[in-house]
């Protein structure tokens, strides 16, 4: 947003919501004033703001929290604009309550040099609705052979390095990447998969894959790479971030790694926390994802990992595809789920079941990912006075049915189509600007001064 645009905006009062901000330990009823794109005042209870003129967004009965941060998504631009663009991807993000999203570099061309990073950043500024922070490649062309110009990428503003979609197979390259990453204080984000073990795999390896006659991807394929990466992080002292953890064994390994003092953080997706391999019965290509949906035993371990902070954050791995891509036999369909617009609704099931607290869930979507990103891009994941006014407002109890026709994302590929979810984003504010609003809410100018 332009500076003058911010000045023209009337202050906005988010009035009497249930404010939850784990970064400041706030969990109470109150109001929030936004002035010129920043949080300018926070009043507890019925307190009225210090100035008379503002618009009002009534938030009674709603949760008001820092805008969600997604450390892992695919925006597909440049190169795969039929699947998603920065414009449609950021619209989908706004609908899902995300105000900062970090996009993976598996585009065409891949984000392995300054020019491609600048391209994504400038598209995001002109066409994006929310903040886009790019992730640069580990290797040139994502080929896994030679390190990308990590220094150049770091100075162009990447928040980390990853060859996601593919693992960093070559251990020597991974070692070098972790070694160099120390100089930039940026994480190496690995998609952990031993591809020799998963080659041709379609789903989780187990009884169901045998029954369906689909080639399986064993949990061990992920765990071998997690173990290797932890060993390399220990060897180099580099910062490691494990993408989309999906197995109980990986959680155990990461727990042990943290106990040893290894610099490791980890993420889990909403689908790996809420859906099992049973979704594949019926050969629904929308349930085909990598890593694959696992078992309820894995889900239990992942949730426990979140509760114990072994897994630091929740990231969507939003991976949009066209309908034509997924409209084929199971074996030929690409991996991926369109995740932005169902993330909160899915995750709220864990809160309604008593497995996560509301503040705990919000922390995994705001404060914790902000800590991994650091302060280089401003104060993120907080409602602190002076921070950019990135705010998500949601109804924790609203029931709604997932209709992919309503998605802003070009990717309609979700196994949740037609499902009822409980918990819905009502409004998303990015840098003080309302970038998404549910029809159920009206913003009004304040008519008279409140007592």
Backbone torsions φ then ψ of 436, nearest 5 degrees: -150, 140
Cα–Cα distance between 56 and 225 in angstroms, integer?
51
Cα–Cα distance between 314 and 366 in angstroms, integer?
9
Query: In this complex, which beta carbon is closest to Zn ion, that of residue 76 or of residue 191?
Result: 191
Q: How far is the CB of 385 from Zn ion (least distance, A)?
A: 37
Helix axes 86-95 and 114-127, enclosed angle (nearest 10): 60
Query: In this complex, which beta carbon is closest to Zn ion, that of residue 255 or of residue 272?
Result: 272
Catalytic site residue 317? yes
Q: Would you tell me which residues interact with Zn ion (CB under 5 A)?
A: 164, 191
**Of 94, 92, 126, whose CA–CA distance to 1 is shortest?**
126
Provide the strand spans (E) within 193-331: 203-204, 216-217, 240-242, 264-268, 313-314
Query: In this complex, which beta carbon is closest to Zn ion, that of residue 221 or of residue 435?
Result: 221
Q: How far is the CB of 142 from Zn ion (least distance, A)?
A: 12
Do 218 and 197 form a contact (C-beta atoms < 8 A)? yes
Q: How far is the CB of 165 from Zn ion (least distance, A)?
A: 6
- For residue 281, what are its two tokens? 């019965």
Q: How far is the CB of 199 from Zn ion (least distance, A)?
A: 16
Q: How far is the CB of 396 from Zn ion (least distance, A)?
A: 30
Q: How far is the CB of 246 from Zn ion (least distance, A)?
A: 10
CA-angle at 171, arms to 168 and 177, nearest 5°: 65
Among the options 70, 229, 317, 390, which is catalytic? 317
Distances (CA, A) of 171 to 225, 245, 265, 414: 10, 19, 19, 34
Query: In this complex, which beta carbon is closest to Zn ion, that of residue 21 or of residue 164?
Result: 164
308-334 b/e (C-beta count within 10 Å ≥ 16 → b): ebbbbbbbbbbbbbbeebbeeebeebb
DSSP 397-445: EEEEE--GGG-SSS----TTTT-EEEEEEEEEEETTEEEEE-TT---EE
Query: In this complex, which beta carbon is closest to Zn ion, that of residue 290 or of residue 414?
Result: 290
Query: In this complex, which beta carbon is closest to Zn ion, that of residue 91 or of residue 285?
Result: 285
Residues whose CB is less than 8 angstroms from the CB of residue 89 and which lie 6 or more positions away in sequence, other chains included: 73, 75, 76, 77, 101, 103, 318, 320, 340, 409
Q: How far is the CB of 243 from Zn ion (least distance, A)?
A: 5
- For residue 66, what are its two tokens? 């820092």
Q: How far is the CB of 102 from Zn ion (least distance, A)?
A: 13
Do 267 and 71 form a contact (C-beta atoms < 8 A)? yes
Query: In this complex, which beta carbon is closest to Zn ion, that of residue 159 or of residue 383?
Result: 159
- For residue 346, what are its two tokens? 């899915």
CA-angle at 209, arms to 204 and 213, nearest 5°: 140
Backbone torsions φ then ψ of 408, nearest 5 degrees: -80, -25
71-91 b/e (C-beta count within 10 Å ≥ 16 → b): bbbbbbbbebeebbbbbbbbb
Burial class (CB in 10 A: 0-12, 13-18, 19+), 24: middle
Query: In this complex, which beta carbon is closest to Zn ion, that of residue 32 or of residue 293?
Result: 293
| Residue in this structure with the two tokens 């309604």, named with its chain if needed | 352
Catalytic residue numbers?
A: 317
């Amino acid at each position: 947003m332009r500076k003058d645009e911010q000045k023209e905006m009337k202050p906005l009062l988010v009035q009497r919501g249930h404010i939850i901000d784990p970064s400041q330990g706030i969990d109470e009823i109150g109001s929030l004033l936004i002035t010129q794109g920043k949080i300018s005042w926070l009043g507890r209870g019925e307190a009225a703001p210090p100035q008379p003129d503002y618009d009002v967004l009534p938030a009674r009965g709603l949760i008001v929290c820092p805008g969600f941060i997604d450390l892992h998504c695919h925006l597909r631009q440049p190169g795969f604009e039929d699947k998603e663009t920065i414009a449609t991807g950021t619209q989908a993000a706004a609908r899902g309550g995300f105000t900062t999203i970090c996009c993976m570099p598996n585009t065409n061309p891949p984000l392995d040099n300054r020019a491609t990073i600048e391209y994504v950043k400038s598209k995001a500024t002109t066409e994006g609705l929310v903040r886009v922070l790019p992730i640069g490649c580990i290797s040139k062309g994502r080929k896994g052979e030679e390190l990308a110009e990590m220094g150049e990428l770091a100075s162009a503003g990447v928040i980390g390095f990853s060859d996601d979609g593919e693992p960093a197979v070559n251990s020597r390259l991974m070692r070098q990447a972790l070694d160099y990453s120390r100089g930039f204080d940026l994480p190496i984000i690995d998609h952990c998969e031993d591809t020799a073990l998963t080659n041709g795999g379609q789903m989780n390896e187990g009884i169901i894959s045998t029954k369906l006659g689909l080639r399986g991807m064993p949990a061990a394929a992920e765990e071998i790479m997690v173990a290797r990466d932890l060993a390399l992080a220990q060897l180099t002292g580099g910062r490691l971030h494990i993408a989309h953890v999906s197995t109980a064994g990986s959680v155990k390994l990461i727990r042990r790694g943290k106990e040893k003092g290894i610099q490791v953080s980890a993420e889990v997706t909403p689908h790996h926390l809420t859906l099992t391999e049973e979704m594949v019965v019926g050969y629904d290509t929308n349930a085909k994802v990598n890593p694959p949906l696992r078992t309820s035993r894995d889900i239990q371990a992942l949730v426990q990992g979140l509760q114990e902070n072994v897994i630091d954050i929740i990231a969507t791995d939003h991976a949009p595809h066209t309908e034509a891509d997924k409209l084929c036999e199971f074996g030929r369909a690409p991996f991926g789920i369109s995740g932005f617009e169902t993330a909160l609704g899915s995750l709220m099931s864990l809160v309604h079941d008593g497995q996560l607290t509301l503040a705990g869930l919000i922390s995994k979507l705001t404060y914790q990912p902000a800590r991994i990103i650091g302060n280089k891009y401003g104060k993120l994941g907080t409602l602190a006075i002076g921070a950019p006014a990135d705010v998500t407002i949601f109804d924790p109890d609203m029931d709604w049915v997932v209709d992919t026709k309503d998605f802003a994302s070009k990717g309609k590929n979700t196994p949740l189509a037609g499902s009822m979810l409980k918990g819905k984003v009502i409004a998303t504010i990015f840098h003080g600007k309302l970038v998404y609003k549910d029809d159920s809410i009206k913003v009004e100018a304040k008519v008279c001064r409140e007592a």
